[in-house]
Chain A
Amino acid sequence: MPNKPMNTNFQSIFNWTFVCIGIYLYLFVFIDKVMAQTISLSITPPLLEVIIQPDKEIKQTYTITNNGSDTLLKAKVVYFIPSDTDGNVETTEVAAPEWVKYSKDIINLKADEQKTFNVVINPPLDTPETDHFLTLVFETATEQNNIGANNTFYKTEIGSNILVAVSSDGNPKKSAEIIEFSAPRIIDSLSTITYSLTLANNGNSFWKPNGKIIIDDEKSLKIAPLNVLSGYSRKISCLEGDELKNCNTDPDFKIGIIKSKLEFRLDEESEVYNIETITYSFPFVLLFVIFILLTLIKLRTIFKVWKRKN
């Protein structure tokens, strides 16, 4: 009998300890979720280019992945306009034409979950032959957690661009203008040449330049096949492997005239655009060093002669 209360007490303490650990673990997990909620989304493909005949249909499947906390997403497809000459965009509030079809349902994307999302492009027979620059945007719709404090909530939008050219024959009129192809006029023989290249599209449809900068018929730099949209211009980088880089020559010692020729085509078209620029390379640094050395030698000789005379 005397042992019974002791056992009860022990049982009670054990129960309370168990409950406390449970509450602690629950709060730990709960607080972790509330205080460290993150938004982390990824979308693929990041770019879609479509040339389509009226009355034809294509379906593109996107994959959206959530590496953050549970979130609700809402999709929309809107027109964009280029915001600079670097290929960045500014989305508008103008919705895509009705023949760009997609689900407007809220997507419930759990943490570490991946879902597919279809966009169907089906321009009707009477669709004018023109380009449409669109962005598929996924917008988070996370509910606010009002905890009675001064605060700021986030909403994020992640996008993927869609370039659509409606064309009956697949050959919309393409035309380019070289806005800038320049290199320094005079360089030191030990320095590199940096090229600036900006192309404008004055045709009816977007295109990519395919070509290179040929230096003295010996070396070449591949220009990146970046999209240039109709009615806009774009700075063009060079390509090294899979990555974009500035159009720079490798360091080389050269004296005299360096001819740099830009040659490119628009997509797979036969017409070739080209332009040439000239750089004069002179060994300024080397000559300066030689001049200083010779002067020092000469001064030394003069000093020796002067010293001998005196």
Chain B
Amino acid sequence: MSKIKFFVFSFVFLLSLFTVYCSQFTVSAQERVESENYRIIFPNFNSGAGIPSSDNYLLNTTIGQTSAGLFSSSGYRVKAGFQYINSIIPFSFSISDTQINFGSLTPETPSTDSSTIIVSAGGAGGYSVKASENNPLQTEGGSNTIIDTLCDTTCSETAAGSWISNTKYGFGFNMSGDDVPTDFTNSNYFRQFADRDSAENPAVIMSSVNVGRERTAAITYKVNVPNVQPAGVYRNIITFTAIPSY
């Protein structure tokens, strides 16, 4: 029994020693991270460390003098495309069905329709797709409006909420697929479109910081109106803005 006690005691003792050892250095590492002396500059550093090899940094299109000393002779230096990939890959955006038709709306019976969005940012890294509406769904002249949905309890242009109830009215959208915001938990979660007429900024509906080839997402629109909704033809325009990262 004494051998077991000795074994257990030794293990606990060694573990404690290691923990104390680590915690001491943890404090010093933390100080290092927060210190104003974080940036250490070696002006005469000449080992070449940190300089990438030219093979991995092929300039896909570079015009003008790349050497700073020769800049004055040409007067410009131009780099087109991302410098760490070997070819200029186009940035592509596509969306199916340029018009979403809800048909005749029946009160308290939601109408839905969907489109597919595909983005290719090549091997160049990130991108974002933002969406906004010119105004909520309105009749000609804006006399009648279908409000932007508030979901069952609450939702906005940046935060999705569950929208199952047929007695909650409005216009909203759901996203599913690649690179979509995580607040679209499932197909019952909806957001409003950012309303430019109310000075709301376009909201991100797809984004990635990494490679993005043929990233595909489905956008599903939903509209539900009450019995008191005035008759009329309701329309609006959704603007999608797709831009690669810099």
The answer to whether B93 and A210 have CB atoms under 8 Å apart is no
Q: Which of B32, B38, B98 contacts A69 (CB 8 A)?
A: B98
Q: Which of B74, B115, B238, B246 contacts A163 (CB 8 A)?
A: B246
User: Distance (Å) between the CB of A282 and the closest chain B CB?
Assistant: 6
B7 within 8 Å of A by Cβ?
yes
Main DSSP-derived SS at the A contact region: strand
B164 within 8 Å of A by Cβ?
no
User: Distance (Å) between the CB of B229 and the closest chain A CB?
Assistant: 11
Q: Which of B38, B52, B63, B85 contacts A210 (CB 8 A)?
A: B52
Which residue, A36, A41, A163, A287, has most C-beta atoms of chain B within 10 A?
A: A41
Give complex CA distance A160, B82 in Å.
12
Find chain A residues with CB under 8 A from B33 CB.
180-182, 277
Give complex CA distance A131, B98 in Å.
37
- Interface residue count on the A side (C-beta < 8 Å): 109
A289 within 8 Å of B by Cβ?
no
The answer to whether B40 and A273 have CB atoms under 8 Å apart is yes
Find chain A residues with CB under 8 A from B215 CB.
none
Identify which of A3-11, A99-107, A220-228 touches chain B.
Answer: A220-228
A204 within 8 Å of B by Cβ?
no
A38 within 8 Å of B by Cβ?
yes
A-B contact pairs, 15 of them (CB 8 A): A39-B93, A46-B124, A51-B77, A53-B71, A89-B245, A137-B243, A149-B102, A153-B237, A155-B240, A159-B243, A170-B77, A210-B52, A244-B209, A273-B41, A282-B22
Chain A interface (Cβ within 8 Å of chain B)? 35-53, 55-56, 58, 60, 63, 65, 67-69, 80, 82-83, 86-91, 133, 135, 137, 142, 144-145, 147-161, 163, 167, 169-171, 176-178, 180-182, 185-186, 208, 210-212, 214, 222, 224-227, 229, 235, 237, 239, 242-245, 263-265, 268, 270-278, 280, 282, 287, 291, 294, 298, 302
